[in-house]
Structure 1
Amino acid sequence: MEYPKSEPLISKRLMAGGAVLLAVGLLLDLHSLPSFLSKKSSGEPCQEVVQSQAKLSRQQLARLLTVPEGGKKQKVQEILKDPYCKLADLQVRVGATAQREAYPLEFEPQTWLVILYEGEQYAGYRFNIR
């Protein structure tokens, strides 16, 4: 008895089901590991308030996501404008001091976007829950 057409169908269904389970598992895992997505900021007070009324809109956030890491700092600053505040510099890797700027999200005030710069280069971002 041969079932040549049903085997590929079953394997495709198994692959699709496995992919869905994997995606759900990853989502649940990420929610249980808040340190992966953000770092609590209780130990990270602002060093200097730049613009106390600054808030980051969804549109600004969407535009920021189009700027590649390693892009120009000036490009990011044109999109985001003045930050709420500057955080303490850090040493991310040996010999490179990074500057950080923080922006509260307009649509989620407890969540802040922290931008990282190394010199005149945009080095990345992370979300910070306050």
Structure 2
Amino acid sequence: MPPEQKDWGIAGDVQAVSRTITVRMGDNMRFTPGHIEVQEGDTVRLRAENQGKVLHEMVLGTRAELDQHAQMMQKFPGMEHDAPYMAHVRAGQRGDIVWQFNRPGTFDFACLIAGHYQAGMTGTITVVPRSR
């Protein structure tokens, strides 16, 4: 199946990765860094490193999409889901998201495990327009 275009971009080709950004996740319910900036058109490997002792995830999206998904996760905490814009990372492990940011704007990322999003485990990505 071809990759699905989302408001925040499209699944990227690992061969096109121009940079890797490591984002650390911890049991303090924070991402470090909490803000990322990329150029429109860049294909980036987001490497999610779980430095905590519990499962965390990194999910890209718009605030509205993440809010809706977080509500569903509250109702069904054991729900399993997988998409190219998600990385589920067990304690002490790491996971990658390869994503092409082909639309400018400000987007979000979050851990949607029940209670984590509500505790503030969120961040932002600014996609800076390419000068044409």
- Whose radius of gyration is greater, 1 or 2? 1
TM-score by length of 1: 0.27
Higher helix share: 1
Higher strand share: 2
TM-score by length of 2: 0.26
